[in-house]
Chain A
Amino acid sequence: MVNPVLIIAVPLLIAFLMPFFNYIHKKLPAFLALLTTAFNVLVISRNFSAIMSNPMVIEIGGWQPPFAINLYIGPLALLAITVINVVGLILSVYNLNHDYEINDKFYLLFLMIIAGASGMVMTGDLFNLFVFIEITSVAAYGLTVFNRGDSYEAAFKYIIIGAIGSVFLLIAVGFTYASVGTLNMAEISHLSPNLSPNLMRIITLLFMIGIGIEAELFPLNLWVPDVYSEAPTSVTSILSGAVSVAGIYALGRIFFTLFQDPALFSYLMIIGVITLIVGELVAYNQENIKRMLAYSSIAQMGLIVTIISINTSEAIAAGLFQLINHSILKVLLFISAGVLIKAAGSKKIEELNGLGNKKPIASLGFSIGAMGILGVPFFNGFVSKLMLINSTLNAEKIIITGLILFATIVEIAYYLKVVQKLYFSNRDKKVFKTANIFIPVLVLTIFVFALGIYPELITNTLNKAASELITNTEYITNVLGGM
């Protein structure tokens, strides 16, 4: 039984020692990043069954909650952490042979962002959440500028919006402390029914703005297209695959565990639907492929938030499944798109024609990712889509279902244009050399089909995670021990 604190501690340690390792040998940072993420995945797999039967509470420093900071890892956190670290592992493999110039400081920030996202998910204390959100954000600001060129502008916009978000978050933490008197999540959820509803509403709104910037809700997500299209490919993948998972987790904790206010769920649903529709409609007109994928990411996040805000157990399970599928598929899409862009020499979709024969692995990866998101049978997106529709119709929300299906049709429109261009056009322009991405694409494709054909692999975990999110009594008793 390895202590899960190592999931946060070891990457941070190795990250700050990176310049030293770089001095020893130039190639060492890449391999060390790979080893660290592999170590993380190993720790998680060791603790997997133990956490599934009994959520784990770890007190930092030996002090008892609610006076101390504790980590809480239940099935939901376990799911999120697995996704974050497996995505990190796959991207470390991808970083070994890559298309762009990176140096040791890239790996420093990369490990930091993984540690930050993992910490965001595992923590049980509100201020610790704030600190980890800031670690993740600062690492993301730094990682964005690694691509020279337009990425400075994107990073600056990200910094402005992110800093405003952190101000809102800090005000929310302050107000919470002033009204409840504690910062421990379990204690807050125990005491929050005593608050006046207006105050709770304002605090939840402030939190929503602060965390919504990480979780990409409209209109707080306008930094996403710029950053995703200008950052290097593995940065985009880790932001889209790992940080958004952590953002949705934090949003879920605020809305379900800490402050349960039924009226706010309808706000969340409306915001989610608006994000979904705006994301899909704007993605249809794009010429730049990475920007198109960024808008598709935003739309999927909106979809997940809409589903989760329906507040029934099967809806939350469906939303979590969609989140996991989205991470896998988006990483696949972004990696393939990165190779295709390098091969064509330009980011415009018009330039990508005919690459199906020249770059078969990347084109196949892109097609599998696109078909997964659209919901072709026997892919993982199909199963989660069916579960989504089942849960929304069970909750009698017919208009929402209609809007989700309309959004899917718009998605079909813009993804199919790219797939057709890749395979069924001729190419007479030059094709540049690119890196070999066979192993990441293979591993991700195996995940896609395994979850699509045999979803019972994770349904048990999903059910437990969903039930943990809905009722917060178990959370309170586990941490406070019946105080």
Chain B
Amino acid sequence: MISFLEKWSFFGGSILLILIGLYGVIAKKNLIKILIGLSLMDTGVNVLLVSLGYVNGGSAPILTSVIKSNSGAFVDPIPQALVLTAIVIGVAILALGLAVVIRIYEKYGTLDITKIRGLKW
């Protein structure tokens, strides 16, 4: 049980985070809540990516005076690089989204997405 949890909790947790974020984006009516859901989805994906690179018993991929070569005891560094970039991109999108929400609030006076339906068909 524990080993099963150990193996799959990362993936399961990240998928769960993604699904919660998705629920927030699709079902919630408040614009801010939608953006929070989006942010949750980003976080979930980042967790998924990092956990894909985990090597059992490995440590941080930094050469120090103790560990002098890549002796196979490192966690995979590439997903970590990917995640760093992805976090930055997520923050940028969130900031842009919030700026747009501020403008929407100024124009329409409400944060309810069902009331903002000028463009249809």
Determine how close the nearest CB of chain B comes to the CB of A286; give it in whole angstroms.
8
Whether B41 lies near A164 (C-beta < 8 A) is yes
Whether B82 lies near A153 (C-beta < 8 A) is no
Whether B103 lies near A160 (C-beta < 8 A) is no
A131-B85 contact, Cβ under 8 Å, with A156-B100, A183-B78: yes
Interface SS of B by simple majority = helix
Whether B93 lies near A174 (C-beta < 8 A) is no
Whether B38 lies near A229 (C-beta < 8 A) is no
Determine how close the nearest CB of chain B comes to the CB of A294; give it in whole angstroms.
11
Q: Which of A137-145, A192-200, A412-420, A469-477 contacts B (4 or more CB under 8 A)?
A: A137-145
In whole angstroms, how far apart are the Cα atoms of A183 and B100 in the complex?
A: 34
Most buried by A among B48, B49, B89, B92: B89
What residues of A have a CB within 8 angstroms of the CB of B48 in the complex? 171, 174
Whether A159 lies near B49 (C-beta < 8 A) is no
In whole angstroms, how far apart are the Cα atoms of A178 and B104 in the complex?
A: 41
What residues of A have a CB within 8 angstroms of the CB of B5 in the complex? none
Interface SS of A by simple majority = helix
What residues of B have a CB within 8 angstroms of the CB of A152 in the complex? 100, 103-104, 107
Beyond contacts A127-B82, A138-B96, A177-B79: 12 other A-B pairs, Cβ-Cβ < 8 A, are: A141-B93, A141-B100, A145-B103, A152-B107, A153-B116, A160-B38, A163-B97, A167-B45, A170-B45, A171-B48, A174-B79, A177-B53
Contact surface of B with A, Cβ cutoff 8 Å: 18, 22, 25, 31, 34, 38, 41-42, 45, 48-49, 52-53, 78-79, 82, 85-86, 89, 92-93, 96-97, 100-101, 103-104, 107, 116-119
27 contacts between A and B (CB under 8 A): A131-B85, A131-B89, A134-B92, A138-B89, A141-B96, A141-B100, A145-B100, A150-B119, A152-B103, A153-B116, A154-B119, A155-B100, A156-B101, A159-B100, A163-B97, A164-B22, A164-B41, A166-B93, A167-B41, A167-B42, A167-B45, A171-B18, A171-B48, A174-B52, A174-B79, A174-B82, A177-B79
